C-alpha cells in the first residue's frame, strides 16, 4: 500500500480528522507482522541518507506535530534512529523565549533549516504559532490567517533551495491519549514527561482539532505536503512514516559523486606502500 498517496492532505481541500481512523493499521495485524517491512524501510532510510550526504544537492526537512502523547519522540527514536547522526539534526521547539518573542515568529526557526546534504527533524515546529497561540487565544483569526501565508512563503523558499519538506500529523484518539498518560504515571522512566498541562489541555481537545484541521488544510501544498498518520498503533505509525520518507528520498534519484582523485594513481601508491612495508619487515 502506498501510504504517501493514502494519507496525504490534498491541497485545496478541507481536512476533517474525524474521517480518518487513528486506529487504522493497514494489512498488518500486529507489530510482529509489520517488523520486516519496518526494517526494510529503515534500511532504505539509512542508504538514501548516505547518498543525500554525499551528493549534497538536496536537503530534507521532516516536521512532526501531534497532540500531547501523539508519538513525536517515539517517531524520532524508532524511525529516524536509522539516520547517521553526522548528517542529521533534531530540533525541539518549546515555548518561545523572551528574545524569540521579540522577533517575528519564524525568526527562531530558519537557523535550524537543513543545509544541503542534511536531514533536519522538527519535533514541534513553526506550526505551534498557529496552533497553541490560536487555542490559547494569544492571537486572533486575522493573525493566524496571515501566518499561514508566511509559512507557505517560508516553505516555498526552502523548497526552491532544494529542500524536500515532509510534514506529519500523528493522529491519535482521545482515549489513547489518556491511556498513554496513564503509562507515564506508571513508568518511573517516563514520569519526567508528566506535566500539569497534560490534563488541562485535554479540555481544549476540540479546539486543537479545529486548529490542526485549518492549519493542515491551509498549508499542505505539492512542495510541502502534510500527511495525517494514524498513530494509535505505534508500530503502524513507524511503518507509515518510514515508508513515506524512504520512498520520497528514493524518488530523488540520487547517486554518489564521482571521485575527485585519480583512483588508478591512488591504487599504485597504496600497492607501493604495501610493498614498502613488506620489505621493511624482512
- Tell me what pLDDT residue 260 has: 87
Q: Which residue has the cell 490560536?
A: 134
- Give the integer Cα–Cα distance in Å for 269 and 273: 6
Q: Which domain holds residue 78?
A: 3-281
Quick one: 197 exposed, middle or buried, by C-beta within 10 A (0-12, 13-18, 19+)?
Answer: exposed
- Give the integer Cα–Cα distance in Å for 151 and 130: 10
| CATH code (residue 165) | 3.40.50.300
Give the percent of the chain with pLDDT over 90. Answer: 83
Higher pLDDT among residues 151 and 195, named by residue: 151
- Tell me what pLDDT residue 195 has: 72
- Give the integer Cα–Cα distance in Å for 113 and 115: 7
pTM: 0.93
- Tell me what pLDDT residue 282 has: 63
Total count of domains within the chain: 1
pLDDT in tens, 194-247: 776 777 788 999 999 999 999 999 999 999 999 999 999 999 999 999 999 999
Strand ranges in 59-118 using DSSP code E only, listed in sequence order: 59-66, 88-92
pLDDT in tens, 8-36: 999 988 999 999 999 999 999 999 999 99
pLDDT in tens, 102-123: 999 999 999 999 999 999 999 9
- Give the integer Cα–Cα distance in Å for 84 and 73: 17
Residues in Cβ contact with 128 at an 8 Å cutoff, skipping those fewer than 6 apart = 93
- Give the integer Cα–Cα distance in Å for 38 and 5: 18
- Give the integer Cα–Cα distance in Å for 251 and 48: 10
Amino acid at each position: 500500500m502506498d501510504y504517501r498517496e493514502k494519507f496525504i492532505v490534498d491541497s485545496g481541500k478541507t481536512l476533517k480528522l474525524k474521517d480518518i481512523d487513528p486506529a487504522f493499521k493497514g494489512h498488518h495485524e500486529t507489530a510482529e507482522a509489520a517488523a520486516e517491512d519496518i526494517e526494510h524501510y529503515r534500511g532504505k532510510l539509512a542508504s538514501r541518507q548516505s547518498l543525500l550526504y554525499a551528493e549534497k544537492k538536496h536537503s530534507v526537512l521532516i516536521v512532526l506535530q501531534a497532540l500531547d502523547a501523539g508519538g513525536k519522540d517515539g517517531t524520532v527514536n524508532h524511525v529516524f534512529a536509522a539516520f547517521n547522526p553526522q548528517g542529521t539534526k533534531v530540533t525541539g521547539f518549546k515555548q518561545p523565549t523572551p528574545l524569540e518573542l521579540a522577533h517575528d515568529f519564524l525568526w527562531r526557526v530558519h537557523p535550524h533549516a537543513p543545509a544541503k546534504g542534511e536531514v533536519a527533524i522538527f519535533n514541534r515546529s513553526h506550526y505551534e504559532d498557529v496552533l497553541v497561540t490560536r487555542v490559547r487565544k494569544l492571537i486572533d483569526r486575522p493573525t493566524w490567517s496571515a501566518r499561514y501565508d508566511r509559512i507557505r512563503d517560508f516553505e516555498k523558499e526552502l523548497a526552491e533551495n532544494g529542500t524536500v519538506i515532509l510534514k506529519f500529523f500523528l493522529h491519535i484518539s482521545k482515549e489513547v491519549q489518556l491511556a498513554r498518560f496513564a503509562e507515564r504515571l506508571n513508568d518511573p522512566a517516563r514520569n519526567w514527561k508528566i506535566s500539569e498541562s497534560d490534563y488541562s489541555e485535554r479540555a481544549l481537545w476540540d479546539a486543537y482539532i479545529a486548529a490542526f484541521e485549518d492549519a493542515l488544510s491551509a498549508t499542505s501544498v505539492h512542495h510541502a505536503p502534510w500527511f495525517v498518520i494514524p498513530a494509535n498503533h505505534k508500530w503502524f505509525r513507524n511503518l507509515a512514516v518510514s515508508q513515506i520518507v524512504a520512498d520520497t528520498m528514493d524518488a530523488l534519484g540520487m547517486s554518489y559523486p564521482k571521485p575527485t582523485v585519480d583512483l588508478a594513481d591512488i591504487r599504485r601508491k597504496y600497492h607501493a606502500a604495501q610493498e614498502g612495508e613488506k620489505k621493511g619487515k624482512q
